[in-house]
Amino acid sequence: MKRILIIEDEKSLVRFIQLELEHENFFVKVAYDGKSGLHVALTEEWDLILLDLMLPYIDGMEVCRRLREYKSTPVIMLTARDAINDRIQGLDSGADDYIAKPFDIDELFARIRAIFRRVELEERPVRSVLSIRDIAVDPDSRVVTRSGMTIELTKREFDLLIVFLKNPNMVQTRDMLLDQVWGYDSLVETKVVDVYVRYLRHKLDVPGEESIIQTVRGIGYVVRT
Ligand code: CA
């Protein structure tokens, strides 16, 4: 559940936004002035802060400036004054976006979604998809596809395929495969490798076409690009 902090002194507006956000399954907390708002913003973790510009004790710009000395929590500035100056100042003080009151709740939601999308993109690690020919493997999600069709593999089959994809054109002996997939101390016999290669071929290969995993007689197996 995403956590949103509202710092706004206009109680009826706060109540309205809070109900709408809670309806969308956000956890919401409210601070009605700049001083307590800054305190909550700094001492608790938030996914987003909706920050009013005109606030008692410390105004929104100053709250944002002080927050930015410590945290990069996304901030959408709310302001009644729809002046270009406020917008520029708001963004200068470190706000991520700005919305002028009165606003449509759908527009606020659109801005919130845009910010969450951006944060997710920034946080998402770069996926290192392994591929050979038309076979693609995402090691993180463990999704395997051939020509875009998902192929279900067991853990061992998956681990075995990963070894081949990480070492294209390099012949893997049965012992090498055993070490990498089953572990050095494994008491499994090397012929289990043959069994799992057969499973993999059965799931990956296209009938009538040459197998993706080739046998190197007397040595082991190789996947060629
Ligand atoms: Ca206000």
* Same structural domain, 115 and 137: no
* pLDDT at site 126: 64
Distance 113 CA to ligand 1 centre (A): 24
Of 81-90, 178-187, 191-200, the least confident: 81-90
* Same structural domain, 119 and 135: no
* Same structural domain, 12 and 116: yes
* Same structural domain, 20 and 114: yes
Distance 145 CA to ligand 1 centre (A): 54
* Same structural domain, 10 and 119: yes
pLDDT digit string, tens, across residues 94-130 = 888 888 888 899 999 999 999 998 888 777 666 678 8
Question: Cα(26)–Cα(164) distance, rounded to whole angstroms?
Answer: 45
Indicate which CATH number applies to the domain containing 178: 1.10.10.10
Distance 114 CA to ligand 1 centre (A): 24
* Same structural domain, 156 and 134: yes
* Same structural domain, 13 and 109: yes
Distance 223 CA to ligand 1 centre (A): 66
Distance 137 CA to ligand 1 centre (A): 52
Distance 97 CA to ligand 1 centre (A): 17
* Same structural domain, 163 and 219: yes
Distance 34 CA to ligand 1 centre (A): 10
Question: Cα(106)–Cα(126) distance, rounded to whole angstroms?
Answer: 32
Which domain-ending residue is among 73, 104, 123? 123
Which domain-ending residue is among 72, 89, 123? 123
Distance 26 CA to ligand 1 centre (A): 22
Indicate which CATH number applies to the domain containing 96: 3.40.50.2300
Is the C-alpha dihedral spanning 164, 170, 174, 178 positive or negative? negative
Question: Cα(207)–Cα(166) distance, rounded to whole angstroms?
Answer: 25
DSSP strands (E only) in 102-225: 130-132, 135-138, 143-146, 149-151, 172-173, 213-216, 220-223
pLDDT at 86 over 70: no
Distance 117 CA to ligand 1 centre (A): 28
Q: What is the mean pLDDT of residues 83-89?
A: 65
For 170, the domain range is: 130-223
pLDDT, the chain, mean: 89
pLDDT at 80 over 70: yes
pLDDT digit string, tens, across residues 22-33 = 999 999 999 999
Distance 36 CA to ligand 1 centre (A): 14
Q: Are strands 172-173 and 213-216 parallel, antiparallel or unpaired?
A: unpaired
* Same structural domain, 106 and 196: no
* Same structural domain, 20 and 78: yes
* Same structural domain, 99 and 186: no
Neighbouring CB atoms inside 10 A of 81's CB total 11
Distance 79 CA to ligand 1 centre (A): 7
pLDDT at 90 over 80: no
Distance 44 CA to ligand 1 centre (A): 22
Distance 24 CA to ligand 1 centre (A): 24
Q: Taking the CA atoms of the chain, what radius of gyration do you get in angstroms?
A: 28
DSSP strands (E only) in 133-197: 135-138, 143-146, 149-151, 172-173
The amino acid at 106: D
* Same structural domain, 110 and 207: no
pTM of the model: 0.57
Secondary structure letter of residue 191 according to DSSP: H
pLDDT digit string, tens, across residues 145-157 = 998 899 999 999 9
As for how many domains the chain has, the answer is 2
Which domain-ending residue is among 76, 99, 123? 123
